[in-house]
Structure 1
């Protein structure tokens, strides 16, 4: 959520920020509504002051035995007018708040301008894509059918965009989550947290997913939401609290299921595990002072790159342009992994600096070294989604016989196993 005080003093920058995202200028509308609200609030406060003065006068005159009937009538009239003015001010405040809540975050000046994702800027490549000259690379769906990946039975019980993983494939997915959590704790000093998957509306709002992304969320009959990312619950660990600067930065990590309706993804990535209604992800979330946010952002990115390099998966780092960046983000880096079965790079991880956008929505503040209250910056990163990482491992580590070599760093988490072997049948639920 944006700061109305900042918009008042920087209307041109506010409009430029919206224009940079391809949106129309809105400062005139915001300032007009803000002015109307402040005027109504002033009239209400003035009326309340008059009524309070008359109330004091009535009390004084009663003590002196004077007739106060006329004053009581005047007070009654003022009270009715006060109620009307209060309702007007409250109505304008709600309109202004709703308008402010509808705006995206302002972008960092370093975000490249673009009209589509095609204008994202590639910052670096790491690793060379494997040369499949001895045999043609299969995609993960074809490989997975013989390793314990079952879309058919998942569709029977849940519908499309779900998957069942069995046997060694399920073990590899579990190994990935354990290894990622261990690395986030050991290398970044993160606090591991296990959180709920169902949250109240205000928790989703605080993360900036409402009202913008309402169509992409699953909502239960009792009004709660299934989280679309662990960012939601980790962010709300500190909602409505005042943090101390000496305790910052806070760094959390969690392994959670994530649920997305993919309402706007009709016809996109309908095969395989790329775009699912349910998937699992290891999340990073940081809370820090504004001056430390760039360093923490780069630390999160470096951690994600470390995980990719440890798995020896070829990837590239991309700076998202203004047309592709998320609603809550000031600046975002994506990591895209090479998938030989699809002959392209696909997003596997994001890392974003959200400034004070989320801390304002969750009313999270911190006390700086001078004792002044301010809003901290929040940052998040995927480190990593286990499903897409599993896809990348299957496609990059496949062998001619349909087996898949297990990355060396994961073998201790797999009981020493060095490969996944085809089970030769599907479904594969027998021991």
Structure 2
């Protein structure tokens, strides 16, 4: 028996992988209602869904199932999963540095204390204090963002004091995508250089590298830096080895002993510097796609590490993936606004018919709203491309860009 806490979005891939290893699953919902910013988890694969009210009660309810593993299915479940796993006596990252694995300020300060290169930063609930720090302590641009969100939510690149003030007000007047109130905002020095993803799975502090990807983003006039696509590097290709070594040290500093991690790192002229790391599987997870392009996937390996750690340590720990062809994960953006009536099946079929398209996730259901993209949660599709040459992948990506705004049939919002 395993326990998954808040298995939103890519967490949906975990129950079948645990089932394949012979385990059943119980879901824990950390909030009274499902979070409205994300599709609700499909509870069909679970024996039960426990709505968390207090730790003692949740532990008592879970103990009856005699679980052997507890993990977060998505970011908001990280600290609760740490608490439950510690209380239930199963493999755990523990609660000592749990907050540092969620709170971005504590995360970076933990790395600084361990001697790792990282951004300069300051946090406050006072807009003027944030502006004063930016004026005094950092060269522009600077980055302003929430302490505990994800997916590019309310992350602003600011070129001057006025932009810092506007961004700080926007953060402090809003909730995160996980429905947490932003009582403080974080301002950081801008890390110059290309950005990468390093995905791993750990067991007993030993790790397997599932993939190293390079981000391609686009900065909007508003200061929002939106995702466009990411492509897979060969594990031996520079700068992958240096990024992996840095992330391994960062995970050790943050107390990550078990489970999947998704780290974002910028390669600055001074070396790698962490943007943030999530103690959960990657948002771009697609088991079949990752099996095809990297010879394994984070969801399958997470289940293996949890239920058969001896095999994981013998066959995977200390090793890295093998790149099998060119691979790109495309995240489409839009400037459209309205209510989605459905998908144009002819356009969807054309996308699926492109030579290198491996899979496609339509992110907006009929009746849902499409709005101009400012972060991952307002992107419209995730498309997985895999081919023998990057030229073939890039050709199909260009066609995706031409078709992306024709996928959904949209009616204007009332009043427009």
Q: TM-score, normalised by structure 1?
A: 0.26
- Larger helix proportion of the pair: 1
Q: Specify the structure having the higher radius of gyration (Cα).
A: 1
Relative contact order: is structure 1 or structure 2 higher (C-alpha 8 Å, sep ≥ 6)?
1
- Larger strand proportion of the pair: 2
Q: TM-score, normalised by structure 2?
A: 0.26
